[in-house]
Amino acid sequence: MTIEVNGGRRGLTDPEIAAVIMAAVPDKPLETQRKMNYFMKPRGKRINEYEVLCCYSQPTPDWIPGGLDWGDWTQKFHGGRPSWSNESTEMRSSDWLAHRDPAFRWHALYVKDKAEEWRYTDRFLKAYSADGHVRSIDPVWRDEVLGDYLGAFGFYEYGLFNSHSSVVRDCLGDTLRMSSAMIGLDKVDNAQMIQAERTFLSKLVPGFPESTDIPKQEWTKGAIFKGARELVQDIWQATYDWNEILFSGHMICDPIFGQFVRREFFMRLSSYYGDNLTPFFINQMQLYFSQTKGITTDMFHTCLGADVEFGDYNNRLMRAWANKWLPRTVNALKDFMAIYATIPEIKGVSDKAAIEAALVRVFADWKRDFADPINYKVDTAALVKTVLSGLK
């Protein structure tokens, strides 16, 4: 037969072509090692699918620790700056490819989860609206807090989202890059969920404004989010070290400020004000928070902090970064305390004692999960006191 086949003839199903192919295929496989990436060191007992599909996809030379390639970059920035370089971060690693998402999510697994969350969100909103839950929300909570302040908090999530762009460009490892893009997407998802909730409310409550105008005014000009806004702006645009961006955002700012606002303010209080809608969205954000925490904890504690060669140095650097970012985060939270003056107080729920207890929870969690592992000494009681001084 002729070797040029057109008209879309397929070798798998066309008998004439298939016969030629089968005559050429070896009787038994030529190679017995059938596992892709067999040469790599797995995190667990065996190389899993995530490690097969992600690890060593990055073509870095061996002078960036962990890389398998050799030599220089084939094209550089104008002026000769290299494509990727060890100088892009103050952190040191003996293997920049060591990080793993603890949930081993490659792209398909990541989007599958989020797709399910979206479908469930759609079904939930339909049931919620048909059920008339919206009637029970306290009007002040609904119009002031959800209308303005939840909307303003969306800008916090959006700003942190954008802090991941240069990390995705600059970081030195494949699993780091994929994880950073995914935790970044979760942040814009949070901002979008907040807008989705406001749009949803505007459909149910005539007159409820879905526009972002007032929230943006609150975010850019208001006192409640002033500290948070300045903090986010600096993480996003004034920080160039990609590890410092991730560390300040996910190891300091979000586990303290973000956690307090989401968990202790919106989620805990909403049900007291008859709002069962907000917890639905915040719970998704909290799921993302915990997945992100798994990822960044792996980056900074499991990999960098425990690095055989550079662990001590890295922990020292993280403590220095904590010194830089913690006071600003505390200050952001202190500014946020002004929000309590805008809502009707509920004894034992939103009074000073309850706020203090909430702050103690957040700082205790942070100390246990983020400060202690890098041996960072912190007086959480003093921090709580500083924050409380912002109460009006």
- Measured from the CB atom, is 83 or 94 closer to another protein? 83
Interacting positions 202-221 with another protein (CB under 8 A): 203-208, 210-213, 216, 219-220
Region of 11-19, 253-261, 295-303, 359-367 interacting with another protein (CB under 8 A): 11-19
Phi, psi of 69 (to 5 degrees): -90, 175
Q: Is residue 238 classed as helix, strand or coil in its secondary structure? A: helix
Indicate the helix (H) or strand (E) that contains 385: helix 380-388
Q: Does 200 bind another protein (CB under 8 A)?
A: yes
Phi, psi of 216 (to 5 degrees): -65, -40
Interacting positions 34-73 with another protein (CB under 8 A): 34-39, 52-54, 56-59, 68-73
- Measured from the CB atom, is 232 or 358 closer to another protein? 232
Q: Give the binding-site size for another protein (rule: CB under 8 A).
A: 127
| Rounded Cα gap, residues 283 and 258, in angstroms | 13
Residue 92 burial by Cβ neighbours in a 10 Å radius (0-12, 13-18, 19+): middle
Q: Does 244 bind another protein (CB under 8 A)?
A: no
Q: Which of 48, 165, 276, 342 binds another protein (CB under 8 A)?
A: 165
Q: Does 370 bind another protein (CB under 8 A)?
A: no
Q: Which of 48, 95, 104, 143 binds another protein (CB under 8 A)?
A: 143
Virtual CA dihedral for 247, 248, 254, 260, nearest 10 degrees? 130
Q: Does 106 bind another protein (CB under 8 A)?
A: yes
Interacting positions 111-130 with another protein (CB under 8 A): 111-115, 117-119, 121-122, 125-127, 129-130
Q: Which of 41, 107, 352, 385 binds another protein (CB under 8 A)?
A: 107
Q: Which of 30, 44, 308, 344 binds another protein (CB under 8 A)?
A: 30
Judge contact between 186 and 288, C-beta under 8 A. Answer: yes
**DSSP H stretches of helix in 224-277:** 226-233, 242-247, 259, 268-270
Q: Does 90 bind another protein (CB under 8 A)?
A: no
Interacting positions 283-302 with another protein (CB under 8 A): none
Interacting positions 318-337 with another protein (CB under 8 A): none
- Measured from the CB atom, is 130 or 308 closer to another protein? 130
Three state DSSP letters for 138-182: CHHHHHHHHHHHHHHHHHHHHHHHHCHHHHHHHCCCHHHHHHHHH
